[in-house]
Amino acid sequence: MGAVHSVHSASLSRASTIVSENPATGEAIGEVPDQPAEEVRAAIARAREAQRAWAAVPLAERCQRIERFAEVLMARADEVIELVVREAGKTPIEALATEVVVVADLTRYFCKHAPAVLAPEPIPLHLLKHRASYLHYVPRGVIGIIAPWNFPFSIPIGEVVMSLIAGNGVVLKPSEITPLIALKARELYLAAELPPDLFQVVTGRGAAGVALIDGGIDYCVFTGSVATGRKVAAACGERLIPCTLELGGKAPAVVCADADLDRAAQAIVWGGFANSGQVCASVERVYAVASIHDQLVDKIVAHARALRQGDAAVSEVDVGAMTWDRQVDNVERLVDAAVAHGAQVALGGKRSPGPGLFFQPTVLTSCRQDMDVMRKEIFGPVIPIMSVADEEEAIRHANDSHLGLLAYVFTRDRARGKALAERIAAGTVMINDVLHTYGCPETPWSGVKSSGIGRTHSAHGLRDLCETRHVNYDRIAIPREVWWYPYRNTTFQTALRVARLLFGKRFWKR
């Protein structure tokens, strides 16, 4: 690998230091310590101490205080955007829309709705009317968050905000590729005058993630690759720590014969190339019905050809740098293998000459389901397209994957769109649109199959950050329950008659 491609490899300057680099230029922009296990453990202990007091703060007051974080974030949005552009290679508009605004909106949303979402929930009992139950939501304690580099602000900080609202302390281990953004988030958190020890950031490599799970956290929210997710699940299982796993995706886009092709093409181009394709929800494979295939390809290529790529810090571009040198290698390998197996390059197809980490926006046609480019996560600016006979074949291929995070259907027929969407095994299926539900805090974000376990965002995601506890109580005081001692034959005979009446044949329903 040449010097150009070694940028953003989180290179080691001293044994205990990680250097962060600008992926568009290769320049070093800062360094952070590679923190050892004892420091990770100490951070958890500090967060636990602070969490005891925080959990005692009434929920409404917690929300009020956390809203201040949204204010500080928007007041200092320029700083975050500038750093996201420099450390992750994104364009300013992506940094604003997919990092800053997502978190500001999520913060406002949950601060407003958490009191209702986390209010005790009555469960009326259908038989034992003299008693009743309710659920109540109790903070879990310290949440360990392990985050990837592709949305270095919005993924972990959205999870941090939700965890804090739920009454927890948090220790975040950001990716070694983008640690400065996590530290910037903590700076804003402190500026919002929230309890300093309640939210900690520990920097380091994978070993710091291992130490976090081993260090006594009460819950783990992991976002990253399937391979690491398996290790995290095993480590959590060993310690019986519940976890949420948000893992890889291979989102199919099914384009029906009746689709609005102009809209579909633009959506697919944005869905495939936004953040240089480094999105777990990226359009990773297109199944186009044969009757519209050629027309769709022409439109996709025309839109993709118009994209400007480059260092977003110095010029107005549509596609920024890729973030990690190894990811560029992966993309190159997958594209080269696809071409060797018969895929046609309709656009791009090559790594750009340096400086910086750039892979040309690439459109591949004549792809087949057995190619790696249609089966493995690409995580780069590549749109492989396959022609299919009809929607049935498209759905079959869409479901032929070990992943199931996002999927997309394009059709003008809303009813058919919903019917097709419901047949695709994915946590979320969008009709005539792509990607953006991550920015809707009220909707769940989750994968099926190997794409994950549990969910983030939504009322469900917020409740998952709490222990759901059950209380059962007496509405009407009675001296004793009929099933208590002593056991009598007469009681048994009566109980059997009553049980038959209640659960046996229902004569009135004949």
Under the rule (CB under 6 A), what is the footprint of ligand NDP?
A: 146-150, 155, 173, 175-177, 205-206, 209-210, 223-225, 228, 231-232, 246-249, 280, 377, 379, 405, 445, 447, 452
Query: Cα(292)–Cα(333) distance, rounded to whole angstroms?
Result: 30
Shortest reach from residue 326's CB to ligand NDP, in Å:
8
Q: Closest Cα partner for 78 from 67, 92, 91? A: 92
Segment holding 400, helix H or strand E: none
Torsion of CA 337, 341, 342, 346, to 10 degrees: -10
Shortest reach from residue 224's CB to ligand NDP, in Å:
3
Segment holding 287, helix H or strand E: strand 283-289
Query: Cα(440)–Cα(458) distance, rounded to whole angstroms?
Result: 8
Cβ closest to ligand NDP, residue 20 vs residue 366: 20
Cβ closest to ligand NDP, residue 377 vs residue 464: 377
Cβ closest to ligand NDP, residue 35 vs residue 175: 175
Shortest reach from residue 381's CB to ligand NDP, in Å:
15
Quick one: tokens of 452?
């994950």
Catalytic residue among 94, 159, 246, 391: 246
Our answer to whether residue 280 is catalytic in this structure is yes
Amino acid (1-letter code) at residue 188 = L
Tell me: cis bond preceding 23? Omega within 30 of 0 counts.
no
Shortest reach from residue 177's CB to ligand NDP, in Å:
6
Three-class secondary structure of residue 145 per DSSP: strand
Measured from each CB, the residue nearest to ligand NDP is 209
Show Cβ contacts of residue 353 under 8 Å, excluding neighbours closer than 6 positions. Answer: 4
Cβ closest to ligand NDP, residue 151 vs residue 287: 151
| Burial of 333 per CB tally in 10 Å (0-12, 13-18, 19+) | middle
Query: Cα(399)–Cα(154) distance, rounded to whole angstroms?
Result: 29
Cβ closest to ligand NDP, residue 206 vs residue 439: 206
Cβ closest to ligand NDP, residue 210 vs residue 367: 210
Written as one string, the DSSP assignment of 53-99 is: HHHHS-HHHHHHHHHHHHHHHHHTHHHHHHHHHHHH---HHHIIIII
Cβ closest to ligand NDP, residue 249 vs residue 348: 249
Shortest reach from residue 391's CB to ligand NDP, in Å:
26
Apex 152 CA angle, 179 and 352, nearest 5: 95
Shortest reach from residue 427's CB to ligand NDP, in Å:
8
Query: Cα(213)–Cα(156) distance, rounded to whole angstroms?
Result: 16
Catalytic residue among 236, 256, 280, 466: 280
Shortest reach from residue 413's CB to ligand NDP, in Å:
30
Shortest reach from residue 175's CB to ligand NDP, in Å:
4
Q: Closest Cα partner for 56 from 148, 139, 162, 142? A: 139
Query: Cα(154)–Cα(224) distance, rounded to whole angstroms?
Result: 14
Cβ closest to ligand NDP, residue 410 vs residue 445: 445
Q: Compute the radius of gyration of the chain from its Cα atoms.
A: 26
C-alpha of 331 from chain center: 21
Quick one: tokens of 73?
């974030």
Residue with tokens 């109540």: 136
Query: Cα(96)–Cα(199) distance, rounded to whole angstroms?
Result: 23
| Number of residues written out for the chain | 510
Active-site residue set? 246, 280
